[in-house]
Amino acid sequence: MAGWLAERADWPGADDSPALFLNQRGQRLSVRGAHDIITGIGKAAGLDDETTVHTLRDTFATTLVRGGTDLVIVAELLGHARLENHADLHPPERRRPHTRPRPTLLLTDK
């Protein structure tokens, strides 16, 4: 983080914007801008599937869960007030029958 903050200081608009991530014009990075960056990184890495911001978010959550992070902490980091709002983080025996987990999170069930 310290490295990014040092680099960010040289970006246009860094003194004027409290946003952590800026676009090339020095404005807050938009959702679309973040999507384009993440998708571009996935393509450059030669990934078969389209990489999205949601893929990155799910991978972040999966990594935390696999590492033993408390599910309540993971839910809070994902911005959920309650754990029930992210049902695919529950082990299979605790999921509601209508909840279909994303394939990336199925790996945590092993």
pLDDT per position as a tens digit, 7-57: 889 888 888 889 999 998 889 999 999 999 988 988 999 987 888 888 888
User: pTM value?
Assistant: 0.57
Residue at 32: amino acid letter? R
Do residues 62 and 103 share a domain? yes
Domain span including residue 24:
2-44
Do residues 68 and 23 share a domain? no
Report how far residue 13's alpha carbon sits from residue 102's, in angstroms, rounded to the nearest whole number.
38
How many structural domains compose the chain?
Answer: 2
- How many other C-beta atoms can be found within 10 angstroms of the C-beta atom of residue 110? 5
Do residues 101 and 66 share a domain? yes
Contacts for 42 with CB less than 8 Å, ≥ 6 apart: 49, 50, 51, 55
Do residues 39 and 70 share a domain? no
Element (H, E) at 52: none
- How many other C-beta atoms can be found within 10 angstroms of the C-beta atom of residue 90? 19
31-44 and 53-66 are packed helices; what angle lies between their axes, rounded to 10 degrees? 70
Do residues 61 and 98 share a domain? yes
Name the least confident of 24-33, 55-64, 75-84, 99-108.
99-108
Do residues 35 and 58 share a domain? no
